[in-house]
Amino acid sequence: MRAAVVRRPGPIETTPLVVETREPPWPGPGQVRLRVRACGVCHTDLHVAEGDLPPRRAGVVPGHQIVADVDALGDGADPALAGARVGVTWLAWTCGMCAACRRGEENLCPRARFTGYDTDGGFAEVAVADAGFVIPLPRDLAAEAAAPLLCAGVIGYRALRVAGVQSGERLGLYGFGASAHLAIQVARHWRCEVGVVTRGAGHQGLAEALGAAWVGEPGARPPEAFDRAVVFAPSGALVVEALRAVRPGGVVAINAVTMDAIPAMPYELLYGERTLRTVSHLTRADARAFIALAAEISLRAEIEVFGLVEVNEALRRLKRRELRAAAVLRP
Ligand SMILES: [Zn+2]
Ligand SMILES: [Zn+2]
């Protein structure tokens, strides 16, 4: 099989990913083998390729938004999975026994292992995954369009839940990339009035097309205060802007793995029982709930499809913010 491998992590301009031919992996106990149909490309894959995330597995295959068909079962894997169309997310495995796992917060498990980081991921023709961590997908979702739902989509959905978004509320979205363009469709389904703060005519036009009631450049103030806001762009200044735009009692959720420093701000922006929260990836329950909702409301992902050999190019364009929405590899 062919796989895109991080041989030596470094700036994406140095093409750190190399497409190699490998023996296809065989599923171990409790695992399934996957024929990869499509795999989404995420900022975290860029951090793995560039070494911003300290390497944990030499020659790792990135990719954690895998749409695949199960083509072999390891010992003990659920026989019902044979031939099934499934999705694999960033969450490859959790211990199931720690306090976080027992609270249902497996996204906070300190022993969690991650797809395309601790384990080989989906930038390959074949992969293996823990049978208990694959998410069944409806057959009528096209593979390429389903891939970005598995990280960008699920985590955007979790961010809306963490922010406590209620039907009919006013919601602000700060930054408008792969995750936000899916979250806005969920929020519109919940009859929320959505304002979007983002740079660039392309993203602003897409936000309007997807039903944003108001669109502004960073620095612009919405005509009315938001009840909740989600910050998607890794900009601390936008966190302060979002706090300034939410009403007393409102919530700002940060959906970014890394972020530049949040500038000093007057206490009054937080006073008035405003809440500032972060979102740490996802649980399997989030993924199942979101996939069911996405199928029900025919949620549409804007995608650009790349071949496996174009993996460095896809990541380069992601880094330069040249993608209109989500990049997807078709191995
Ligand atoms: Zn991701
Ligand atoms: Zn745990």
Q: What is the pLDDT of residues 146-192, one digit of tens each?
A: 999 999 999 999 999 999 999 999 999 999 988 999 999 999 999 99
> How remote is the CA of residue 105 from the centroid of ligand 2, in Å?
8
> How remote is the CA of residue 145 from the centroid of ligand 2, in Å?
31
Please report the pLDDT score of residue 300 as a whole number: 87
> How remote is the CA of residue 281 from the centroid of ligand 1, in Å?
8
Return d(Cα 49, Cα 34) in angstroms, integer. 23
Please report the pLDDT score of residue 321 as a whole number: 85
Distance between terminal CA atoms of the chain?
10
Angle at 204 between CA 199 and CA 207, to 5 degrees: 130
- What ligand is nearest to the CA atom of residue 98? 2
Is pLDDT above 80 for 324? no
- What ligand is nearest to the CA atom of residue 104? 2
258-265 long-range contacts, Cβ below 8 Å, gap at least 24? Answer: 258/47, 258/52, 258/234, 259/234, 259/235, 260/234, 260/235, 260/236, 261/236, 262/236, 262/237, 263/236, 263/237, 265/240
Window from 26-30, 54-58, 137-141 with minimum mean pLDDT: 137-141
> How remote is the CA of residue 78 from the centroid of ligand 2, in Å?
22
> How remote is the CA of residue 99 from the centroid of ligand 1, in Å?
25
Considering only residues 322 and 91, tell me which one the structure prediction assigns the higher pLDDT.
Answer: 91
Q: Is 242 helix (H, G, I), strand (E, B) or coil?
A: helix
Please report the pLDDT score of residue 264 as a whole number: 97
- What ligand is nearest to the CA atom of residue 327? 1
Domains of the chain: 2-151+282-330 (3.90.180.10), 153-278 (3.40.50.720)
> How remote is the CA of residue 318 from the centroid of ligand 1, in Å?
12
> How remote is the CA of residue 7 from the centroid of ligand 1, in Å?
20
> How remote is the CA of residue 61 from the centroid of ligand 2, in Å?
24
Structure tokens at 287: 């993924």
Return d(Cα 233, Cα 198) in angstroms, integer. 9
Please report the pLDDT score of residue 86 as a whole number: 98
> How remote is the CA of residue 222 from the centroid of ligand 2, in Å?
41
Q: Measured in whole angstroms, how far is the alpha carbon of residue 180 from the centre of its chain? A: 10
Give the mean pLDDT of 302-308.
95
Considering only residues 297 and 257, tell me which one the structure prediction assigns the higher pLDDT.
Answer: 297
- What ligand is nearest to the CA atom of residue 281? 1
Considering only residues 306 and 257, tell me which one the structure prediction assigns the higher pLDDT.
Answer: 306
Please report the pLDDT score of residue 257 as a whole number: 86
Q: Is 222 helix (H, G, I), strand (E, B) or coil?
A: coil
β-strand pairing of 134-136 with 66-73 = unpaired
Unique residue bearing structure tokens 């409102």: 250
Task: Give per-residue pLDDT as tens, 104-126.
Answer: 999 999 999 999 999 999 999 99
Please report the pLDDT score of residue 139 as a whole number: 86
Chain mean pLDDT for the chain: 96
> How remote is the CA of residue 296 from the centroid of ligand 1, in Å?
23
Give the mean pLDDT of 73-77.
97
> How remote is the CA of residue 83 from the centroid of ligand 1, in Å?
25
The pTM (predicted TM-score) of the whole model is: 0.94
Please report the pLDDT score of residue 310 as a whole number: 97
Return d(Cα 156, Cα 242) in angstroms, integer. 17
* Cα-Cα-Cα-Cα dihedral sign, residues 324, 116, 291, 213: negative
Return d(Cα 229, Cα 249) in angstroms, integer. 12
> How remote is the CA of residue 225 from the centroid of ligand 1, in Å?
30
Please report the pLDDT score of residue 178 as a whole number: 87
> How remote is the CA of residue 50 from the centroid of ligand 1, in Å?
15
